[in-house]
Structures are given as structure tokens and as C-alpha cells.
Structure 1
Amino acid sequence: MILKIVSLFLVFIAVLGMFGKLGLLLPRRLTSAKCPSCGRYRIGRGPCPCGKA
């Protein structure tokens, strides 16, 4: 019984990894939340702390 649970868990993790490689689970708006000059993620709607954008 434990072997079946472990094998199902490993299959589930492998399927999640395949979807992650394809980029289906990540929202596309994360790339737009980065500062174009320094590349850091911006939190909220305010300007970036680097002051360039």
C-alpha cells in the first residue's frame, strides 16, 4: 500500500515537472512585473526602488 502511494506521488511530481517545463502553470504577467532596467520584481503598483523606471 505504501509503495503504491509513493509511486503515485512520484508520477504526480513528474507530471507537474513536465507542465512546469512547458510553462503552462506560470502566469505570463510575472514577466511584466519585472523592472525593465534592473530586472527585480516590483511589488504593488509603485515605481521600482532602483529609481530608473
Structure 2
Amino acid sequence: MADARTSGKPVKLDPMTPFERKVVHDTVASAGLRSESEGEEPQRRVVVLPA
């Protein structure tokens, strides 16, 4: 998350399960950033976007 905040560029995370993505989305939102999921299962991943 800090990388997206400091660089101002989206950061793509490694593929993860739906539960793991939900936890990451919640954590990112609580840090004041935005996130979205991209890709197709089983390679779906979270992209953390700068605020």
C-alpha cells in the first residue's frame, strides 16, 4: 500500500483467493486508498490504486 501512496502509481499484487482479496480490499480502504480486482480465476489479483 505504501508503494501506491508514495509512487502515485497502481500496484498489482500476486494472485489470491476470493477471501484473501476481500481482506486486502478492506485493509486498503481503511488506509484511505482504493483497490480493484482484475483478471480471471485462478489468476485474479488486487490492484491498489493511489488515493
- Category of TM-score, reference length = shorter chain: 0.3 to 0.5
Of Structure 1 and Structure 2, the greater strand share is in 2
Using the size of structure 2 for normalisation, the TM-score is: 0.34
Larger Cα-atom Rg: 1
Higher relative contact order (CA 8 A, sep 6+): 2
